[in-house]
Amino acid sequence: MNNSIYKKGLAVVLIIALIIMTAIGIKLSGKEKEIIFTNYDVKQSAEELNNEEKKETFICVDIDGAVINSGVYELIEGSRVIDAIDLAGGLKEKAVTHNLNMARKLVDGEKIYIYEEGDAQIVSENILNGNKLIDINTASVDSLMTLPGIGEVYAKRIIDYRSNKKFTSIEEIKNIQGIGDKTFEKLKDLISVN
Protein backbone atom coordinates (compact mmCIF):
# COMPACT_ATOMS: atom_id res chain seq x y z
CA MET A 1 0.00 0.00 0.00
CA ASN A 2 2.80 2.33 0.78
CA ASN A 3 4.20 1.49 -2.58
CA SER A 4 1.00 2.41 -4.38
CA ILE A 5 0.77 5.77 -2.54
CA TYR A 6 4.36 6.41 -3.47
CA LYS A 7 3.63 5.60 -7.15
CA LYS A 8 0.50 7.76 -7.16
CA GLY A 9 2.42 10.65 -5.52
CA LEU A 10 5.26 10.29 -7.99
CA ALA A 11 2.79 10.26 -10.90
CA VAL A 12 1.10 13.44 -9.57
CA VAL A 13 4.48 15.16 -9.13
CA LEU A 14 5.51 14.16 -12.69
CA ILE A 15 2.20 15.39 -14.12
CA ILE A 16 2.56 18.69 -12.26
CA ALA A 17 6.18 19.00 -13.45
CA LEU A 18 5.09 18.33 -17.05
CA ILE A 19 2.30 20.91 -16.76
CA ILE A 20 4.74 23.50 -15.34
CA MET A 21 7.37 22.75 -18.01
CA THR A 22 4.76 22.98 -20.75
CA ALA A 23 3.47 26.28 -19.37
CA ILE A 24 7.02 27.66 -19.16
CA GLY A 25 7.76 26.44 -22.69
CA ILE A 26 4.62 28.07 -24.04
CA LYS A 27 5.45 31.32 -22.24
CA LEU A 28 9.04 31.30 -23.51
CA SER A 29 8.04 30.54 -27.08
CA GLY A 30 5.50 33.38 -26.87
CA LYS A 31 8.19 35.76 -25.67
CA GLU A 32 10.50 34.75 -28.51
CA LYS A 33 7.75 35.55 -30.95
CA GLU A 34 7.23 38.91 -29.25
CA ILE A 35 10.96 39.65 -29.39
CA ILE A 36 11.16 38.75 -33.05
CA PHE A 37 8.09 40.85 -33.79
CA THR A 38 9.49 43.77 -31.77
CA ASN A 39 12.85 43.55 -33.54
CA TYR A 40 11.05 43.65 -36.88
CA ASP A 41 9.24 46.84 -35.87
CA VAL A 42 12.50 48.43 -34.68
CA LYS A 43 14.19 47.56 -37.96
CA GLN A 44 11.29 48.98 -39.91
CA SER A 45 11.33 52.19 -37.86
CA ALA A 46 15.10 52.49 -38.30
CA GLU A 47 14.70 52.11 -42.07
CA GLU A 48 11.99 54.78 -42.10
CA LEU A 49 14.29 57.13 -40.15
CA ASN A 50 17.16 56.46 -42.54
CA ASN A 51 14.89 57.20 -45.50
CA GLU A 52 13.86 60.50 -43.88
CA GLU A 53 17.51 61.39 -43.27
CA LYS A 54 18.31 60.59 -46.91
CA LYS A 55 15.87 63.26 -48.10
CA GLU A 56 18.44 65.91 -48.94
CA THR A 57 17.94 69.52 -49.89
CA PHE A 58 19.57 70.72 -53.08
CA ILE A 59 20.91 74.13 -54.12
CA CYS A 60 21.81 75.55 -57.52
CA VAL A 61 25.07 77.36 -58.15
CA ASP A 62 26.30 79.12 -61.30
CA ILE A 63 30.03 78.59 -61.82
CA ASP A 64 31.87 80.42 -64.57
CA GLY A 65 35.30 81.57 -65.66
CA ALA A 66 38.40 79.40 -65.47
CA VAL A 67 36.62 76.04 -65.12
CA ILE A 68 36.42 73.31 -67.75
CA ASN A 69 32.59 73.28 -68.03
CA SER A 70 30.89 76.50 -66.93
CA GLY A 71 27.22 76.26 -66.04
CA VAL A 72 24.55 75.93 -63.38
CA TYR A 73 24.99 72.90 -61.17
CA GLU A 74 22.76 71.28 -58.57
CA LEU A 75 24.55 70.30 -55.37
CA ILE A 76 23.52 68.99 -51.97
CA GLU A 77 22.95 71.75 -49.44
CA GLY A 78 26.12 72.14 -47.38
CA SER A 79 28.41 71.54 -50.38
CA ARG A 80 31.54 73.63 -50.70
CA VAL A 81 33.18 75.65 -53.48
CA ILE A 82 35.54 72.76 -54.28
CA ASP A 83 32.51 70.51 -54.92
CA ALA A 84 31.15 72.96 -57.52
CA ILE A 85 34.58 73.18 -59.15
CA ASP A 86 34.76 69.38 -59.33
CA LEU A 87 31.30 69.20 -60.94
CA ALA A 88 32.42 71.79 -63.49
CA GLY A 89 35.27 69.50 -64.54
CA GLY A 90 37.97 71.18 -62.48
CA LEU A 91 40.05 74.31 -62.97
CA LYS A 92 41.73 75.45 -66.16
CA GLU A 93 45.51 75.60 -66.11
CA LYS A 94 45.71 79.40 -65.72
CA ALA A 95 43.00 79.74 -63.04
CA VAL A 96 43.68 82.35 -60.37
CA THR A 97 42.63 80.99 -56.98
CA HIS A 98 44.57 83.06 -54.44
CA ASN A 99 41.41 84.96 -53.43
CA LEU A 100 39.14 81.90 -53.58
CA ASN A 101 38.15 80.03 -50.40
CA MET A 102 37.52 76.52 -51.72
CA ALA A 103 36.34 75.29 -48.31
CA ARG A 104 33.50 77.84 -48.07
CA LYS A 105 29.93 76.48 -48.01
CA LEU A 106 27.82 77.41 -51.00
CA VAL A 107 24.61 79.46 -50.97
CA ASP A 108 21.63 78.71 -53.21
CA GLY A 109 21.58 80.95 -56.29
CA GLU A 110 25.20 81.97 -55.89
CA LYS A 111 27.47 82.94 -58.80
CA ILE A 112 31.09 81.83 -58.59
CA TYR A 113 33.46 83.43 -61.07
CA ILE A 114 37.01 82.09 -61.17
CA TYR A 115 39.45 84.47 -62.78
CA GLU A 116 42.09 83.44 -65.27
CA GLU A 117 45.59 84.93 -65.55
CA GLY A 118 45.42 88.05 -67.70
CA ASP A 119 41.62 88.24 -67.37
CA ALA A 120 40.44 91.70 -68.49
CA GLN A 121 38.17 92.01 -65.43
CA ILE A 122 41.11 91.72 -63.06
CA VAL A 123 42.99 94.45 -64.93
CA SER A 124 39.95 96.76 -65.03
CA GLU A 125 39.42 96.35 -61.28
CA ASN A 126 42.84 97.72 -60.36
CA ILE A 127 42.86 101.23 -58.95
CA LEU A 128 45.74 103.61 -58.26
CA ASN A 129 46.56 102.35 -54.77
CA GLY A 130 46.90 98.77 -56.02
CA ASN A 131 43.66 97.50 -54.49
CA LYS A 132 40.87 96.02 -56.55
CA LEU A 133 37.47 97.60 -56.98
CA ILE A 134 34.91 94.97 -56.17
CA ASP A 135 31.75 95.11 -58.30
CA ILE A 136 29.03 94.47 -55.72
CA ASN A 137 26.64 93.38 -58.50
CA THR A 138 28.82 90.47 -59.64
CA ALA A 139 31.37 89.68 -56.91
CA SER A 140 31.37 86.25 -55.28
CA VAL A 141 30.98 85.77 -51.55
CA ASP A 142 34.76 85.25 -51.35
CA SER A 143 35.49 88.54 -53.13
CA LEU A 144 33.02 90.44 -50.98
CA MET A 145 34.60 88.99 -47.84
CA THR A 146 37.93 90.63 -48.77
CA LEU A 147 36.30 94.01 -48.07
CA PRO A 148 36.83 95.57 -44.62
CA GLY A 149 33.93 94.87 -42.26
CA ILE A 150 32.28 92.37 -44.62
CA GLY A 151 32.11 88.83 -43.33
CA GLU A 152 30.20 85.85 -44.69
CA VAL A 153 26.85 87.02 -43.28
CA TYR A 154 27.07 90.49 -44.88
CA ALA A 155 28.38 89.01 -48.14
CA LYS A 156 25.34 86.70 -48.31
CA ARG A 157 23.03 89.65 -47.57
CA ILE A 158 24.60 91.60 -50.45
CA ILE A 159 24.08 88.65 -52.81
CA ASP A 160 20.49 88.17 -51.60
CA TYR A 161 19.79 91.88 -52.16
CA ARG A 162 21.19 91.94 -55.69
CA SER A 163 19.28 88.76 -56.57
CA ASN A 164 16.10 90.82 -56.30
CA LYS A 165 17.42 94.20 -57.46
CA LYS A 166 20.82 95.14 -58.88
CA PHE A 167 22.73 97.94 -57.16
CA THR A 168 22.54 101.18 -59.16
CA SER A 169 25.05 103.07 -57.00
CA ILE A 170 27.64 102.17 -54.39
CA GLU A 171 25.67 104.17 -51.77
CA GLU A 172 22.87 101.64 -52.12
CA ILE A 173 24.99 99.13 -50.16
CA LYS A 174 23.75 100.98 -47.07
CA ASN A 175 20.37 99.34 -47.72
CA ILE A 176 21.92 96.08 -46.48
CA GLN A 177 20.98 95.43 -42.86
CA GLY A 178 24.02 96.13 -40.66
CA ILE A 179 25.93 98.27 -43.18
CA GLY A 180 25.71 101.91 -42.18
CA ASP A 181 27.60 105.12 -42.84
CA LYS A 182 30.65 104.04 -40.87
CA THR A 183 31.11 100.81 -42.81
CA PHE A 184 30.31 102.59 -46.09
CA GLU A 185 33.18 105.04 -45.45
CA LYS A 186 35.57 102.08 -45.31
CA LEU A 187 34.08 100.55 -48.48
CA LYS A 188 33.39 103.49 -50.81
CA ASP A 189 36.87 103.55 -52.40
CA LEU A 190 36.95 99.76 -52.82
CA ILE A 191 33.61 98.98 -54.45
CA SER A 192 31.91 99.70 -57.76
CA VAL A 193 28.68 98.96 -59.63
CA ASN A 194 28.71 98.12 -63.33
Do residue 131 and residue 194 come from a single domain?
A: yes
pLDDT at site 9: 79
Give the CATH number for residue 76.
Answer: 3.10.20.600
Do residue 48 and residue 61 come from a single domain?
A: no
- How many whole angstroms separate alpha carbon 99 and alpha carbon 122? 12
Choose among 118, 121, 127: nearest CA to 139: 121
pLDDT at site 174: 92
pLDDT at site 39: 46
Domain end (from 55, 72, 87): 55
pLDDT at site 149: 81
pLDDT at site 108: 86
pLDDT at site 52: 54
> What are the 10-residue block averages of pLDDT along the chain, 194 residues in total?
73 86 74 48 55 74 90 92 94 84 85 75 44 80 83 89 89 91 86 85
Do residue 184 and residue 160 come from a single domain?
A: yes
Domain end (from 98, 119, 140): 119
Domain count, the chain: 3
- How many whole angstroms separate alpha carbon 188 and alpha carbon 169? 10
pLDDT at site 123: 41
Domain hosting residue 173, numbered range: 126-194
